[in-house]
């Protein structure tokens, strides 16, 4: 009698264990805070040294952003000079999701307050991981 009771529990517990493992595996593809922060810091460092090739290498394959054109125009329109360096002051916000249908994968967005020269500049940088790859998907700048 005890063996039948044990088998019934094992049969009921097996699907729960399998489902739990599947959920853990599916979450492993997300973008972590550490990964997004490192990518953001590397990107801002590349912009600050005018290394547009390094900045472009950090972009997501589906990102339409051309760092040299976009940031060159921004510098001339705003009077910012990224060659003075971009210094991170603090991170003021984030949002993330393991799956976002608008990007077809996981995303992590950081809001970063920086200084460029003597001006405060806020960057909102979104990193994405989907079937096409990983990288910076969007950058918004508020001066």
pLDDT in tens, 93-137: 999 999 999 999 999 999 999 999 889 999 999 999 999 999 999
Within 10 Å of residue 36's Cβ, how many Cβ atoms? 22
- Predicted TM-score of the model (pTM): 0.76
Residues near 85 by Cβ (< 8 Å), separated by ≥ 6? 48, 49, 116
Q: What is the mean pLDDT of the chain?
A: 83
**Gap between the Cα atoms of 4 and 133, Å rounded:** 49
Residues near 91 by Cβ (< 8 Å), separated by ≥ 6? 37, 110, 111, 112, 113
DSSP state of 69: H
> Residue 134 corresponds to which tokens in the numbers above?
């990983």
């Amino acid at each position: 009698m005890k063996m039948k009771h044990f088998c019934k529990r094992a049969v009921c517990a097996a699907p729960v264990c399998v489902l739990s493992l599947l959920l853990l595996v599916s979450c492993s593809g997300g973008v972590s805070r550490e990964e997004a922060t490192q990518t953001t810091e590397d990107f801002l460092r590349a912009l600050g040294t005018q290394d547009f090739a390094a900045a472009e290498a950090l972009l997501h394959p589906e990102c339409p952003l051309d760092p040299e054109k976009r940031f060159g125009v921004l510098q001339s329109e705003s009077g910012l000079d990224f060659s003075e360096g971009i210094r991170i002051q603090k991170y003021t916000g984030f949002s993330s999701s393991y799956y976002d249908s608008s990007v077809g994968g996981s995303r992590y967005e950081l809001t970063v307050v920086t200084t460029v020269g003597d001006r405060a500049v806020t960057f909102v940088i979104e990193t994405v991981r989907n079937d096409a790859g990983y990288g910076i998907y969007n950058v918004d700048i508020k001066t």
